[in-house]
Structure 1
Amino acid sequence: MLVFSISTTTLTTEEETAFHRIVTRVNEELHKKYKSLQLTCVSVEGTSYWQCSGNEQRSFKGDSLLFIYQQAAKATAELILELKEQHIIRTLLRNEFNFSGKDESERIIEHCLALLEKGDESPNPSWNRRFLMLAKSLQRCFQETNILNIDGFIAFRLQEYGKELREVIEYTVDEFLVDRQYEEFVGLLKYFVYFQEPLIPVAHVVHKGGLELLLFDENMNPLLRSGHESVFVERINQQDMELEDAVVSTLISVSPAKLIIHTRDAQMPAVKTLQQIFEKRVEICHYCPECHVFFREKEKI
């Protein structure tokens, strides 16, 4: 008596190995509970098969059959997430989003997979939600038929799952476009600074903490932007970065030959932006006599 038969394409050795690993684990669990089950897992010419048969003298039904289908549904959901999800994302990105460049597509896919990955210790909420969504849909499918082709199931039965993947791709594409605009923004300012002659020898940027940045000249006097000489910099993607834009605009206006950034957080976005724009002119200071007063007042920079 055939309890269920599941098949799918496994075109690489890695896919076959993953298929056998997941199925073997579940087979061991099923065999512990039902010794009479005959469980097989084989791969032939690019297709892997998982079959479960019962002893003809024992009919599996009711709670026993429900439990077996639950285990099969969970394992198949895991197979889809591990073996098929990346391919589904690639297909959706190719067919529904206008990214022809291979490098751009790979960056987007890499970001998508990072958002969707299971995680090492415990499943992240997104992975767990998709897993439960798939397992529930698969269990309903097993109640209708005991023969399942995973590739066909993906093509015709996963509207809700596909919708969630599309939302992740849309979010990632938006983030990619913002990042690309930012890179273009920084590149333009780097070009401007490169060809601009220095107007002052040194400028100091003091990061007092949070988003607070102060500008000083070489004598540690406040550096004020002159309205008629300044270059107004407006970030392409407005993200409440008015202060950072004002600092960048002022520094480009005075064009220091050397820019000393006093900070305890060199990874702060504004600090990274200044490093990208002014490149070799930048020196990072974590503590010096010039910024001692700010350490003492705020106990941090």
Structure 2
Amino acid sequence: MQTISIGTEHRAEEIIERLDEGLRSLRREGFDVRIGLHNRGRFTFLDCSVDPQGPDTEALLRHTVASALSDVIVDKWEKDLVRRMIHGQYCYFSREEQDRILDHADRNLGGEGATAGDRHSRSERKARILNQLREYLDQNSELVVEGFLHFRLRDYLEELEEAVDRAVDDFLTEREEREFVRLLRYFLDVQEPRVDEVHVRIRPGGSFSLVDPQGHTLRSEVLEQFVVEMVESEVSYEDLLISALITLAPRRVVIHGPVPPVWEGGVATLRGVFGDRVRDCTGCALCDLEVPKDRCPTC
């Protein structure tokens, strides 16, 4: 009866649980599969065996064990590995800030809130670990998970470190944006409203227009002079819009869509600055230029 021994210093229960799930299919096919435990120093070893023996059965056992371990490493241990990296390399951040960095890193690595691309990267990462585990178990019947991680999965650990570095950059950018929004909100609060209501139409090409409730382009000497100065400074459309709205300090801002993807960040900043002054139009002439109307019926 072939036996594969898996040693671990911590959290043996998670490995046992995942191994048992994987070996259950072998039991259903009539194989005699067993998991035994023994301690050796500070390590707990899981002894996995299957009977009857045979090349195909042994290969299936190795694959099942490797698959279980790759799942545990990526799904169970990865976040703790990242947390320790953050604590060790960026200990000067507060605990709350480290938690925010961890959230960013988790998304970068395909966790909750991740993009489809990051989730695909997570699957590829798990597949690479699975292949390396299988190659090792083809030549060895004993494996210590922590040792395998640190000596055989250096590329994987470097990938986690890169994700942590990106997460720190994301966190710092986010913090700067929050401070920027807070400052803009302060400027808005000390401004006297120049108009009651401004309608914002963002065009597919990225430009925008500001109109009054009747659909007429807003005219203001202060605004026109301001726009000239901003254009000469070569600022982005997003910065120009937010700055123009702060200059006008309207009591109400209505956004007409659809909002192009390139504007999503700018509109999010606008909402952060103007808060409950902002509302969205659900459809009108400003949202669809082919329908001539003077006023948004839903505003």
Q: TM-score range by the shorter chain?
A: 0.7 to 0.9
Pick aligned residue for 2:80 from 83, 87, 93: 87
Q: Per-residue deviation at 1:78?
A: 1.3
**More divergent stretch after superposition (198-207 vs 160-169):** 198-207
Quote how far apart the aligned CAs of 1:268 are. 4.2
1:227 and 2:221 correspond? no
What residue number does 2:177 align with? 182
Aligned counterpart for 1:75 among listed residues 62, 68, 71 = 68
SS at match of 1:292: coil
Q: In structure 2, what is the Cα distance between the partners aligned to 1:228 and 1:38?
A: 77
SS of 1:227's equivalent?
helix
SS in structure 1 opposite 2:191?
Answer: coil
Amino acid across the alignment from 1:227: Q
Change (3 A) 1:292 1:160: same
Post-superposition Cα deviations, 1:23-71, rounded to whole Å, max 9, x if no partner, equal 1122223445673554336899x9764212466xx7x565543332222
Change (3 A) 1:270 1:228: closer
Q: Is the 8 A contact 2:197 2:253 kept in 1?
A: yes
Equivalent position SS for 1:226: helix
Instruction: Please state whether the residue corresponding to 2:285 is helix, strand or coil.
Output: helix
253, 262, 265: which one aligns with 1:259 = 253
Query: 1:7 matched to which residue of 2?
Result: 7
Aligned counterparts, 1:21-100, within 5 A: 21-31=17-27, 35-40=31-36, 49-53=45-49, 60=53, 62-97=55-90, 100=93
Distance 1:215 1:24, change over 3 A: same
Q: 1:52 to 1:197 in 2, by over 3 A?
A: same
1:174 is displaced (CA, Å) by 2.2
Counterpart Cα distance in 1 of 2:243 and 2:111: 43
Could you list the per-position Cα deviations for residues 201-225 of structure 1 after superposition, in whole angstroms to 9, with x for gaps in the alignment? 3322123457442112465432363
Shift of 1:193: 0.6
Matched position secondary structure for 2:288: helix
Question: Which sits farther off after the overlay, 217-226 or 80-89?
Answer: 217-226
- The answer to whether the 8 A contact 1:231-1:252 is kept is no
Counterpart of 1:214 in 2: which secondary structure? strand
Contact conserved, 1:231 with 1:253, CA < 8 A, in 2?
no
CA shift in 2, pair 1:62/1:19, >3 Å: closer
3-state DSSP of counterpart to 1:256: coil
2:126 corresponds in structure 1 to 131
Unaligned runs of 5+ in 1: 234-239
Alignment-mate amino acid for residue 242 of structure 1: S
The answer to whether the Cα contact below 8 Å between 2:22 and 2:64 also exists between their aligned partners in 1 is yes
SS of the aligned residue for 1:259 comes to: strand
Q: Say if 1:7 and 1:48, in contact at 8 Å, map to a contact too.
A: yes
Question: 1:231 and 1:276, CA in 2 relative to 1: closer, same or farther beyond 3 A?
Answer: farther
Secondary structure of 2:175's partner? helix
Contact 1:23 1:41 in 2 (8 A): no
Q: Across the two proteins, how many residue pairs are aligned to each other? A: 281
Q: Secondary structure at the match of 1:88?
A: helix
CA distance, structure 2, for counterparts of residue 231 and residue 42 of structure 1: 76
**How much has 1:2 moved relative to structure 2?**
5.6
| Pairwise CA distance, 1:173 | 2.3
RMSD of aligned residue pairs (Cα, Å): 3.8
1:262–1:129 distance in 2 versus 1, CA, 3 Å: closer
Aligned-partner Cα distance in 2 for 1:48–1:231: 70
Deviation at 1:148, TM superposition (A): 1.6
Q: Which amino acid aligns with 1:28?
A: R
Deviations 1:115-154 (A, max 9, x none): 43479xx994222211121122222322443222212222
Matched with 2:269 is 273
Deviations along 1:243-297, one digit per CA (max 9) or x if unpaired, are 111111112222224333334559944333222212343344334xxx5355352
